[in-house]
Chains A and B, each alone.
Chain A
């Protein structure tokens, strides 16, 4: 792609938007159906075929076990991407619950929850997740659990401040004057006008979680060999990078593409939510 083409595609954001939708849609499709599409051979070693460079038969080459990297990437989408989607969904739910309770509950409860949130925010997620995952035994499941229970503080903080702001909006006061119950105020007026920020955040968070989940596999506390989780594939291949660069390059590129695609999706949604942000992100 020439620079002029990059420029055109960024400027005519309509086309770029469509491309991002198609790409994220395709990735989610892989995450759901990937393992069904991939042939069984990717789980067996075939030493005779080891470390083949990319070719017509093996588009992205083979690894040290002679397994086809392309099909391993297809199969591994589930472990990487679907897990990330689940993680974000899980911690967003926790975050929404904590924020809502803090916003509508008594003041002491708000204080308590926000102090706990502060403690959660004071620790790098990767570090806590590392401790969790190590304690539960290294596996994809424990990495998912660890990330799911350490991801909520940011969401909770953000949403609480938005809820507090929305609760003082004039149309909420208006509904109060009209006699609306607390339940109606929250469900009809406050939450619908506060939660859209989360939808935007979800997309970007999925991109970030893909990176973290892969990183956890890479340092050995996430998915274990012979899983085709993309971070684990990079970890597997790092020992022979000088003889088979493609075995590191291909899964790394997939992680990057997925992460970029979802953060772009987040940007697009953000512009939809607030068109004045166009071009400023």
Chain B
């Protein structure tokens, strides 16, 4: 329907404008944060052995002597052109650094989310359909405990048990040496798929199982609890009784009516989780020796690498905004009521 198509586009335009505003605010915030906190950037960049004159030279060269407003305008101008500055620890443009580490983190995050969603949905469907019985009770106990396990600790325990002790999975890294090839996307998992190399894919899966599990358990537990709660509340609602009074089987009620209606809050949560997951990747990337965004950020913070930190935070912020947009579009596609509210709102 062309009018609905236009409504989608108008919605997208409006949401993109909001996203741009948010990103702009974010950039400002991060810039101020870096400037306001103590510590002399010029001295750090010039290095601990630099003479005061050398520090001054660096300051002038990088424009750090200009008033804050001027620095900000210059900075914003560069960011608009896709230039996030140069990292002082890798001596490369931050954008290039990020391009190297991002695929690894995205691979981890996406794999973790797929794993978490599958686990949570399967468990929630079983638990909600057998509400109150032993399967339900025990899955709830497991979920409560899983939701309280510290991710970094779980990573250490899994690594110790499954890699060091029982040698089921590799200890660290992203793929075995013999499979390393020129990166296409930078993600071993995706590259192996693109090349159609099955054993390389299995190998990459082998490497990602432990980090994805360690990272995913907490999120899967949250997703399970949310989906189970909404499934149960939907199953108690009056329209389910109405569907049943038509003679529908329980499987049909659960899969055709309850699940689609219950997915809304879960999708919203999964969107929020993706952002948090990128942050939490810091915790497992170090342990499992993955060269990702988290490891990069941790290093940048330790080195007080201003532009690297700024760039990373902005990229993560942009990622979160993108996810929010995707979630909104999904909700729009899934729920006609959201569609009505949004599209009517758009005309205002």
Contact = CB atoms under 8 A, between A and B. Distances in A.
B137 A6 contact: yes
A136 B141 CA distance: 40
Q: How would you classify the secondary structure of chain B's contact residues: helix, strand, loop or mixed?
A: helix
A215 interface: yes
Contacts of B276: 124-126
Interface residues of A, number: 53
Given A7-B137, A135-B34, A119 B164 contact: no
B52 interface: no
A245 B317 CA distance: 38
A253 B333 CA distance: 43
A135 B301 CA distance: 8
A263 B144 contact: yes
* Top 3 A-B pairs, shortest CB-CB distance: A124-B279, A252-B153, A260-B148
25 contacts: A3-B134, A7-B138, A116-B25, A122-B22, A122-B317, A122-B324, A123-B317, A126-B276, A127-B278, A127-B279, A127-B282, A127-B297, A131-B30, A132-B37, A215-B150, A219-B283, A219-B286, A231-B150, A234-B150, A242-B164, A248-B153, A252-B154, A259-B147, A260-B145, A279-B132
A47 interface: no
B229 A281 contact: yes
A73 interface: no
Nearest to A127: B279
Q: Which of A221, A234, A280 has the most CB of B within 10 A?
A: A280
Interface of A: 3-4, 6-7, 10-11, 115-116, 118-119, 122-128, 130-132, 134-136, 207, 211, 214-215, 218-221, 231, 234, 238, 241-242, 245, 248-249, 251-252, 255-260, 263-264, 277, 279-281
Given A6-B137, A130-B301, A259-B148, 5 more contacts: A122-B22, A131-B301, A134-B309, A214-B150, A231-B152
A111 to B, nearest CB: 11
Interface of B: 18, 21-22, 25-26, 29-30, 33-34, 37-39, 131-132, 134, 137-138, 140-141, 144-145, 147-154, 156-157, 160, 164-165, 218, 225, 228-229, 232-233, 275-276, 278-280, 282-283, 286-287, 297-298, 301-302, 304, 309, 312-313, 316-317, 320-321, 324
A238 B153 CA distance: 9
B226 to A, nearest CB: 10
B266 to A, nearest CB: 14
Contacts of B38: 135-136
Nearest to B161: A245
A134 B304 contact: yes
A10 B140 contact: yes
A245 B153 CA distance: 11
Contacts of B312: 127
Q: Which of B144, B154, B164 has the most CB of A within 10 A?
A: B144
Given A127-B279, A127-B297, A3 B138 contact: yes
Contact of B157 (A124, A220, A248): A248
A219 B125 CA distance: 36
A124 B137 CA distance: 32
B298 A219 contact: yes
A255 B141 CA distance: 17
